Chain A
Amino acid sequence: MKGVFAHYAATKGGLLGLFMLLVVIVMAASAPFLFPAGPWEIVGAPFEPPLSEHLLLGTDMLGRNIAAAIFHGAYVSLLIGLVSTLAAMVIGITLGAVAGYVGGWIDQVLMGLVEFFQTIPSFVLAVVLVAIFNPSLGAIVGAITVVSWPPVARLVRAEFLSMRSREYVQAAWLSGRSDIAIIFKEILPNTLPPIVVAGSMMVATAILLESALSFLGLGDPNLMSWGYIIGASRTVMRQAWWMSFFPGLAIVITVLAINLIGEALNDALNPQLQAVEEGA
């Protein structure tokens, strides 16, 4: 694996993405110390533009600190992005692995389920789910998970289908290993590169989805997320551009960072590219 890290470090985009993501993580972690009063606290006059008084990014229409909102929002966005991606991965990998490895009618049923979810526009489905279950952190993560797992299941199934007939898998079967051991120890490690890359992209998608839901007013009312700030300030966009511009910038930076990381991982985990560069 040493080679993978070396190759990752050699990509400029990957390092830049990692740096940008680190900045966002530091923002999320330092929010309670820099803004101990929380994002909801009124700190000054409403509609203060950036760089006025001691407020770097200005205030919103209620006089709340935009900088505090963005720092606290970083935590919410990252949390939702990571948790929902993790959940979608677990579901997608499990179902995809079973479908690809077992095949037959189980495969058909599971892939029917995947198609069922994929034919519904994912954002509409997420909106409906959050609306039904009342906007809360759990419901939002759940909704994002439900719309994100089908592509993972498809990807994993395709990988398993091609790996299942490999000779080393047959050899493991001949040595009497259980199906579970073959799935998790023999096949899954070899399918990881594309899954890791897909996962990193999914974090970005999940953050965007949460922002879009909050923008529509379907966010958790107790959490100040980036999408919520933009949604709340969209009516005054022409008078107070900074209220939606800075949280928007935060979303762009985070999603860009994660996409850069995903692409760099894709290159680093591709053994053929490594072989070319090593002159093998």
Chain B
Amino acid sequence: MTSEAPIVKVESLSVEVIGTTPPRLAVNSVSFEINPNETMCLVGESGSGKSMIAHALIGLLPTHGVRHVGGKVFIEGQEITALDEQGLRALRGTSVGMIFQEPMTALNPLMTVAQQIDEVFRAHTAMSRAERYAKSVELLADVQIPDPATAMAAYPFQLSGGQRQRVMIAMALALSPRLLIADEPTTALDVTTQAQILALIRQIQIQRAIAVLFITHDFGVVSDIADRVLVMWQGRCVEAGTVQDVLESPSQAYTRKLIQAVPRLVTSAAQGLVEPPVPALLKVENLSKRYLGRGGRVTQALDKVSLEVGPGETVGLVGESGSGKSTLGKMAVGLLQPDSGSILFEGQNIVGRSRKQLGDVRRQIQMVFQDPYASLNPRHRIDDIIASGAIYCGLEREAAYARAEELLRVVGMDKNCMRRFPHQFSGGQRQRISIARALAMQPKLLIADEAVSALDVSVQAQVLTLLREIRVEFGLSMIFITHDLRVASGLCDRIVVMRAGQIIESGAAATVCGSPQETYTRELVAAIPGKRRMFSPTLVTEPAIIE
């Protein structure tokens, strides 16, 4: 294996951001090689330049804003930095395949799977129609899509996220490239689907002896898939080595922080109560909801779900997408109405009653949303966003703005950001602002719907720490909705595992994670990335805070 020439050779590649003074390098003389049969992981936070490298490798750097200023890239001995657009187009697909983070937007919604794969063959080969079809079916079988013939006729919206990502992989592999670039391919997926996709990429690599460049921010994923690791920080390569060396004896503080930020599955802590404290703050009884889909298809989003949340308690709702966990959260705040069942908040049923009738009760249940980019009104200033709800509830303007300032301090933001607009902040900062907005209403119950799922692992750790702090400081109860059992295990007192609208298993967090009773829960635990070699399951450490 080592006697073969490397498939990719990058020599001090530099990419400059145009228009900043002094000039800033998005990629600062990075060099690496990837051999056949080898997976190289580029690890770093958002903005570290890792995606920029991937795009530079296939000549897909944006035409605006950035410029290739130095260094050379060779793929299979060919210097691609010297190629013109035509040469690059021939290279993409044939020598290099790429898969992206968001499988929904990377596929054309108006074309069937068959048409999209066919297009790749038509553009690059002279195969006949029948040959192309046969080859496409074969590819889908290779990426382990059940019933490839049916999947060929499907449109992207008819496939699940995992299946779409498999189709993307099939397309990337269509022309048997020697290099596969995967840019955060599992970030948008559930933990269980992520595990399957990672296994698939591994398997394909062994079958085809290709090189894989895998981009991620999650060291858990790294430990599962990488042979070698390259840690990026502000455009520079700060550490490189085999996965074993980097994980076991990282030389840089930054690498250590990234590794530490990966949430661990907590299975031994004595925290958590088996029985919820009485009386319950929120009591959900026999909640049911069905959605009518097209063609009379009925989806049972929630099926007679009952749940209790005690004062000061944090309950984790864990499940894959479609398990009904978000539906339950939306019902608790009143954004959705159930078909049947009741939700009692401090003994009072809040189902089917208008906001006016509920009055002060509604204010006491607040929500933190998943997408930090969609949850703040882009046209409002930060202090207005935080204060407006309290003002509406009857607080004096001055008091409301004073409270906003105080809450910004609580969530770890500087007070001089009060008059700024949301687009000036990073995802993590926006999520802090979202939390401050919820706290401004002085809630008793906070519902966090995938509140850290869209964040980098290191930022995720900070926001989780913040949630722990405010929980104590404000005496909050919390429903923490997530697909990630690791995150839930570190934060929650009790965990409720949901699947297809039903509660599968519930109990104290450490019990559910440490000795899961149900098969499905065991699958969830097994799917956690990084279990294999990163840490022993009993090791419990507070995630580090990276500033």
Could you list which residues of chain A lie within 8 angstroms of chain B, going by C-beta atoms? Answer: 166-168, 170-178, 181, 185-186, 189-190, 276-280
Say yes or no: B335 contacts A279, CB within 8 Å.
Answer: no
A190 to B422, CA, bound (A): 13
Query: Does B369 make an interface contact (CB < 8 A)?
Result: yes
Name the distance in Å between A172's Cβ and chain B's nearest Cβ: 8
25 chain-A/chain-B pairs, Cβ below 8 angstroms: A166-B374, A168-B374, A168-B375, A168-B376, A168-B377, A171-B375, A171-B434, A172-B389, A173-B335, A174-B335, A174-B362, A174-B441, A175-B388, A175-B389, A175-B440, A175-B441, A176-B392, A176-B393, A176-B441, A177-B389, A177-B392, A186-B380, A276-B64, A279-B18, A279-B65
Contacts beyond the supplied A174-B334, A175-B390: 20 A-B pairs with Cβ under 8 Å: A166-B374, A168-B375, A168-B376, A170-B335, A170-B367, A171-B438, A172-B377, A172-B388, A172-B389, A175-B388, A177-B388, A177-B392, A178-B392, A186-B380, A190-B379, A276-B65, A277-B64, A278-B19, A279-B64, A279-B66
Could you list which residues of chain B lie within 8 angstroms of chain A, going by C-beta atoms? Answer: 17-20, 64-66, 333-335, 355, 362-363, 365-367, 369-371, 374-380, 388-390, 392-393, 434, 437-438, 440-441
Say yes or no: B367 contacts A174, CB within 8 Å.
Answer: yes
Q: What total count of A-B pairs have CB within 8 Å?
A: 75
What 5 pairs between A and B have smallest CB-CB spacing?
A: A175-B389, A279-B65, A167-B375, A167-B369, A168-B377
Residues of chain A within 8 A (CB-CB) of B65 are 276, 278-280
A177 to B56, CA, bound (A): 48
Residues of chain A within 8 A (CB-CB) of B440 are 175
Residues of chain A within 8 A (CB-CB) of B20 are 279
A177 to B17, CA, bound (A): 43
Say yes or no: B335 contacts A176, CB within 8 Å.
Answer: no
Residues of chain B within 8 A (CB-CB) of A185 are 388
Secondary structure type dominating chain A contacts: helix
Residues of chain B within 8 A (CB-CB) of A279 are 17-20, 64-66
Name the distance in Å between A192's Cβ and chain B's nearest Cβ: 9
Residues of chain B within 8 A (CB-CB) of A189 are 377, 379
Residues of chain B within 8 A (CB-CB) of A171 are 367, 369, 375, 434, 437-438
A170 to B440, CA, bound (A): 16
Name the one of A170, A175, A176, A178 contacting B369, with C-beta atoms under 8 angstroms. Answer: A170
Say yes or no: A174 contacts B392, CB within 8 Å.
Answer: no
A279 to B19, CA, bound (A): 7
A267 to B28, CA, bound (A): 34
Name the one of B18, B374, B392, B438 contacting A181, with C-beta atoms under 8 angstroms. Answer: B392
Name the one of B64, B377, B393 contacting A190, with C-beta atoms under 8 angstroms. Answer: B377
